[in-house]
Structure 1
Amino acid sequence: MASTEFQYDLITIGRSSIDLYGEQVGGRLEDMTSFAKYIGGSPTNTAVGAARLGLRSALLTRVGADHFGRFIREQLVREGVATRGVLEDRERLTALVFLGIRDPDTFPLIFYRENCADMALQTSDVDPDFIAAAGAVLINGTHLSQPGVFAASVRACEIARAAGARVIFDIDYRPVLWGLTGKDAGENRFVAHEAVTARLQQVLPLCDLIVGTEEEMHILGGSTDTIQALRAVRARTDALLVCKRGPHGCSAFPEAIPASLDEGIVGRGFRVEVFNVLGAGDAFMAGFLRAWLRQQPLEACCEYGNACGAIVVSRHGCSPAMPTWEELQQFLSSEQRPHRLRDDRALEQLHWATTRHGHWPQLMVLAMDHRSQFEALCQQVGADPARIPDFKALALKAVDRLAKGDPRFGVLLDGRFGMRGLEAAADHDYWIGRPIELPGSCPLQFEADQDVATELMTWPANHVVKCLVFYHPDDPEDLRERQERQLLRLQDAARKTRHELLVEIIASRNGGIDDDTIPRAIQRLYDLGIHPDWWKLEPSDSLRAWANIETTILANDPHCRGVVLLGLSAPEEQLIASFQAAAQTSIVKGFAVGRTIFADAAEQWLAGRIDDEAAIDCLAGRLRVLVDAWHQAKSVAGGIAGPRS
């Protein structure tokens, strides 16, 4: 039956956990001091990898009714994995795994899986309609280790086969999860055990594809001789057998097992530096299935699997390291690549750009990240600067009053005076920006900790780092290079902390501007390797300037989120007039305007002439004028419709 007849290409079944990955590399797990949080568990990783490669994937598992369970569900949605089968267990916690990278051969793991949610999966959780909606289901070895999850896995296989779907078995052998090693030996991949072999072999008659490493084939076949183990498996099933061989790629055996692994069907292999083997097998599975479920030749299946494994083995983490389809195609088409693959800047940029979450065809932001301007305003009206945070907290309320939850709206607030607003924004779906620059600095300096990476480590992941730089392509060489070094530092820090970056360029303070000034500035930053997710640029009524800007951005970064317009405290009428030209280009998504919206309300509120409600009404009203004007400009230009009411 063709996969297009099914709602899903693939449902993976089993482990779903939180991976806490040690960020220090080269030492003992005992000596790691900070951990990055990802979703994990082999079936979950494979579901994510498959979705990134364009398959319609879903997951059947249980997660706790806790913060981590909610994170898994939210992250799966962001990744495009269907969560219909992600069930909430109110009695058990979401599983945890601590992982580390010691050296190319040592990857310590500690599984916290005592009575965890996913191991409580049972046959009553297996919805026949859900399983029958998939062209293939994938089970794994860990979920054969206990009676309840074994029965659930077998039941899913039986339903799938009855519906004409295919069954995939990822052997996924972890001796510690079968109680065969001490709990501190999570990285141990093989302990021979007859009872485990017998349990695993019970599902073989149900399978169409079986994938495992040589060690996993050993436990499945009951022999430490790989060929003999494969032959023992073949005696019990006609399934396609795929043996993963690390740096040697893989060997696929659709029929009888030959005398050596090299006589199997193989695809092109890829030799890269091994940084982290954890998750590489799940990536291999996703890549293999991308071709196998599309009825491509086995050589292509092996090549895709090998390539995905090579990409992930070079990176930190499991699910976040999975390649996208576009990334895989670039990797496969590259004639030359560094042995240390994470030094491939083009590939890493593509990975970043194609795995970001969220989509903003338009963006309308109330920018109230000003700091020195508010201090000056307090001095002007005789107000206590301690009141500034209370006024800034009104920004989110004003946006919410107008937007009513529309995620195409946003706020730009600072951590010094706007922290209450930033904290409240965590409960909404609005775009959130936050400044990093020291106000007015030229050359560019960073506020708070000058070690910008240390500062960004304290920011929530959904805060977009905004950096204003007074930058002109004709600046004196010393000034220009000092500012560029700061931007390079900032981009490096933002990528390492997984924050999006918005670069705001104000060139008019440093020199004259024509239709080529901003494009030249943008091009120079791209030439240096700076790829902001967003640009924030000065308003202009020149159609030619905007056309040049769009051409420059798309030529260097077709995945750029886009441009938002800043206001420069321009009068409302002047700013609206500038929308007409900017709206002609698709790269401009909207605006992030501040003083044009808040100046009057802030002065009156700080002076005590209006209360909170009046200030919110004023802010929302001024914001609506610009929103309506932007939608009108886009409508005239043949663009997008306005927000929902």
Structure 2
Amino acid sequence: MDVITLGESMVLFTPDSPGPLRFATNFNKKLGGAESNVAIALSRLGHQTGWISRLGSDEFGLYVRNFIRGEGVDTSRVIFDEQNQTAVFFKGLNPGQDPNVFYYRKHSAASQLSPENIDESYVSKAKYIHLTGITPALSPTCRETIYHVLDLAKKHKQTVVFDPNIRLKLWSKEEASDVLSDIAKQCHIVLPGIDEGQLLTGNDSPEEVANDLLQGDTHTVVVKLGEKGSFLATKDHQQYVPAVNVSHVVDTAGAGDGFAAGFMSGLLRGFDYLQSVELGNRIGAHALSVSGDVEGYPYWNKMNTNNQEVLR
């Protein structure tokens, strides 16, 4: 197994036209979830991935499991919960801007995830463990699960990649900063957006954010800067990496998850950090041109190979 990730995926409803949701009458049903986004993007790039979660034993739960499994992701460790439902959320579309998001996930099946749900023998098979800051915000047991997985990763000497993915609708800035800063120190690679880095460190510039996050077990930080690209920092090297130009942005959802998948794909292929960041920028850019979280992620064998330094 190349990458295993864990977290909540939900059924996403998006209106067929932009504007306030109170005026929407028709909705499209899709999948949404940062961790499954990453697993799906990596699967399309040719890697073996696994996704761990809990889903309601309901029609939406079956839809989520079947969709993710249909993308080639291993879902054998997904638990169906008879007591709690699959979460849903809605997005109000604002073309060229981040969407307005409305969650209905309190007491969801995924929020009941606990350390007892983690199969150590399964997790230990992965080369990389991918975690986000969303899961520990869902419930105390979800937070315990993240720390349990960190302990397992240390035990089995696995590389942990952490995307803070801060969701302030789930908890306060203070709690998010305290918990996620502690988790970040125990992860080897940290991938914050610039706003997330500023919240975690109290600093403004990418250089200061990266330097503050390069502590504990963390040896690599990539600060995502949107249309300005990314800032790559290790303990002995730092540089800006330009973005891929996207002439028409349709939907920003899924771009950060695409970056994480592209970056890990590069590392799995033996690319250096710079080439991996460049690939991450490319995969993230693909997500911007299509509505939906995963619809824009490319397949490795269909990608344009003009840039041989990145795609080889």
**1:127 deviation in Å?**
0.9
Which residue of 282, 291, 295 maps to 2:270? 295
Q: 2:301 matched to 1:326?
A: yes
Q: Distance in 2 between matches of 1:295 and 1:267?
A: 21
SS at match of 1:175: coil
- Aligned partner of 1:94: which letter? T
Find 1:312's aligned residue among 277, 287, 294. 287
Q: SS of the counterpart of 1:269? A: coil
1:599-638 correspondence to structure 2 within 5 Å: none
How far 1:212 moved relative to its partner? Answer: 1.5
**Separation (CA, whole Å) in 2 of partners of 1:19 and 1:64:** 15
1:134 aligns to what?
126
Q: Secondary structure at the match of 2:289?
A: coil
AA aligned to 2:159 is R
Choose which of 193, 200, 222 in structure 2 pairs with 1:213.
193
Q: How far apart are residue 226 of structure 1 and its match? A: 4.0
**Identity percentage over the alignment?**
26
Amino acid aligned to 1:333 = N
2:228 aligned residue: 248
Q: What secondary structure sits across from 1:319 in the alignment?
A: coil
The answer (yes or no) to whether the contact 1:38–1:319 under 8 Å persists in 2 is no
**1:30 paired residue among 14, 19, 22:** 22
State the one-letter code of the partner of 2:136: L
Q: Alpha-carbon deviation of 1:333?
A: 2.5
Distance 1:239 1:120 in 2: 32
CA–CA distance in 1 between the matches of 2:13 and 2:224?
26
Query: Partners of 2:105 and 2:233 in 1: how far apart?
Result: 34
Secondary structure of the residue aligned to 1:82 is: coil
> Which consecutive unaligned segments of at least 5 residues does structure 2 have?
308-312
Q: Deviations over 1:315-345 (max 9, x none)?
A: 1101222211123x22x538xxxxxxxxxxx
Q: Distance in 1 between matches of 2:102 and 2:188?
A: 32
Match of 2:256 in 1: 281
Residue 69 (structure 1) shift: 0.6
Q: 1:233 aligns to what?
A: 213
Contact in 2 for aligned 1:249/1:270 (Cα 8 Å): no
What is the deviation of 1:270?
Answer: 2.8
Output the CA distance in 2 between the equivalents of 1:106 and 1:132: 36
Matched, 1:101 2:76: no
Q: 1:378-412: CA deviations, max 9, x gaps? A: xxxxxxxxxxxxxxxxxxxxxxxxxxxxxxxxxxx
AA aligned to 2:146 is S
In 1, Cα distance between the equivalents of 2:218 and 2:98?
35
Shift of 1:103: 2.6
Query: Which residue of 144, 147, 164 maps to 1:154?
Result: 147
Q: Which amino acid aligns with 1:311?
A: H
Task: Read off the aligned partner of 1:117 and give its amino acid letter.
Answer: A
1:140-539 equivalent positions in 2, closer than 5 A: 140-145=132-137, 146-178=139-171, 180=172, 193-255=173-235, 264=239, 266=241, 269-327=244-302, 329-330=303-304, 332-333=305-306
Does residue 1:53 correspond to 2:45, yes or no? yes
Match of 1:469 in 2: none
Q: Is the 8 A contact 1:22 1:101 kept in 2?
A: yes
What is the CA distance between 1:45 and its match in structure 2? 0.8
Q: Which runs of 4+ in 1 moved over 6 A?
A: none
Give the deviation of 1:157 after TM superposition.
Answer: 1.9
Q: Which of 54, 57, 72 is equivalent to 1:65?
A: 57
Distance across 2 between alignment mates of 1:256 and 1:29:
48
| CA distance in structure 2 between the partners assigned to 1:93 and 1:120 by the alignment | 10
Take 2:270 and 2:77, find their aligned partners in 1: how far apart are those partners?
A: 26
Q: 2:187 is aligned with what amino acid?
A: C
Unaligned runs of 5+ in 1: 1-7, 181-192, 258-262, 335-645
State the Cα distance separating 1:224 from its structure 2 match: 4.1
CA contact (8 A) 1:250 1:266 kept: yes
Quote the Cα distance in structure 2 between the aligned partners of 1:169 and 1:46. Answer: 12
Letter aligned with residue 100 of structure 2: P
One-letter amino acid matched to 1:155: H
**In the TM superposition, what is the alpha-carbon distance from 1:266 to its structure 2 partner?**
2.2
- Asked if the contact 2:133/2:166 (under 8 Å) is kept, the reply is yes
Using the size of structure 1 for normalisation, the TM-score is: 0.46
Instruction: Name the aligned partner's letter for residue 71 of structure 1.
Output: Y
SS at match of 2:253: coil
Of structures 1 and 2, the one with the larger relative CO (CA 8 A, separation 6+) is: 2
| Residues 75, 29 of structure 1: alpha-carbon distance in 2 compared, 3 angstrom cutoff | same
How much has 1:122 moved relative to structure 2? Answer: 0.5
2:12 matched to 1:15? no
**Matches of 1:267 and 1:159 in 2, distance apart?**
36
Equivalent position SS for 1:33: coil
Mapped partners of 1:264, 1:73: distance in 2: 40
Provide the rounded CA distance (Å) in 2 between the counterparts of 1:47 and 1:112: 23
User: Which has the larger displacement, 127-136 or 219-228?
Assistant: 219-228
Mapped partners of 2:71, 2:90: distance in 1: 22
CA offsets 1:215-249 (integer angstroms, 9 cap, x no match): 11112223345433332222444331011111122
Cα distance per residue 1:262-302 (max 9 Å; x no partner): x5252663333221101111111111111122221122211
- Whose helix proportion is higher, 1 or 2? 1
CA distance in structure 2 between the aligned counterparts of 1:326 and 1:245, rounded to whole angstroms = 28
- TM-score, structure 2 normalization: 0.92
What is the deviation of 1:107?
Answer: 1.0
Specify whether residues 59 and 119 from structure 1 end up closer, same or farther in structure 2 by C-alpha distance, changes over 3 A only.
Answer: same
| Larger Rg computed on CA atoms | 1
Task: Give the Å deviation of 1:195.
Answer: 3.0
| 1:119 CA displacement | 1.4
SS at 2:134's partner residue?
Answer: helix
Task: Tell me how far apart the structure 1 counterparts of residues 184 and 275 of structure 2 sit (CA, whole Å).
Answer: 25
Distance in 2 separating the partners of 1:168 and 1:214: 17
The alignment of Structure 1 onto Structure 2 pairs a total of residues equal to 306
